[in-house]
Amino acid sequence: MPNQTIKTPCVGLCSTVYGDLVCRGCKRYHHEVIQWNGYNAEEKRAVWQRLEQLLVQVMASKLEVFDPQRLRQQLQDRQIRFMPQQSPYCWAYQLIARGARVISRLDAYGLALLPEFRERHLADLRDAIDREFFLLSEAHYQRYIAPNFLKDAFGPALIAAM
């Protein structure tokens, strides 16, 4: 399974159908979810790169991947789906997302929590990581995407008046 290409970031928990501008499951923007099948390879790659950059930012602020080979082997042994071309910090997210309740020693996976997070339960940390990843995606949308949607919909004169 680890060598299979994941064709979409979808994790089956779409919240855009309820009106969210950013999906709480995969963290894509609503228009990316809707238009995904029409995207070319370059457009899909751009979405994947943004998601990876934001997730790495969150993960690197919580833990260190000190042995990426061990992490990779553990993911393969446990048949946890991950994208080999992505950062090991994304791999760590997949591990924690799937195994937060059963992992007792992160060092066995080549990971170490940063000191300020060592006393937290892994399931609580997983939830905090997911929330922070969502908030970063939402902030990115508000800063870089929403203004362009307004400009396209209402014209530059309205945006300038705001």
| pLDDT tens figures, 55-105 | 999 999 999 999 999 999 999 999 999 999 999 999 999 999 999 999 999
Alpha carbons 131 and 125: distance in angstroms, whole number: 10
User: How many percent of the chain have pLDDT more than 90?
Assistant: 75
- Residue 59: φ, ψ to 5°: -65, -40
**According to the model, what pLDDT value does residue 159 have?**
44
Average pLDDT across the chain, whole number: 89
**According to the model, what pLDDT value does residue 12 have?**
82
What's this model's pTM, rounded to 2 decimal places? 0.86
Nearest Cα neighbor of 55 from 18, 94, 1 is 94
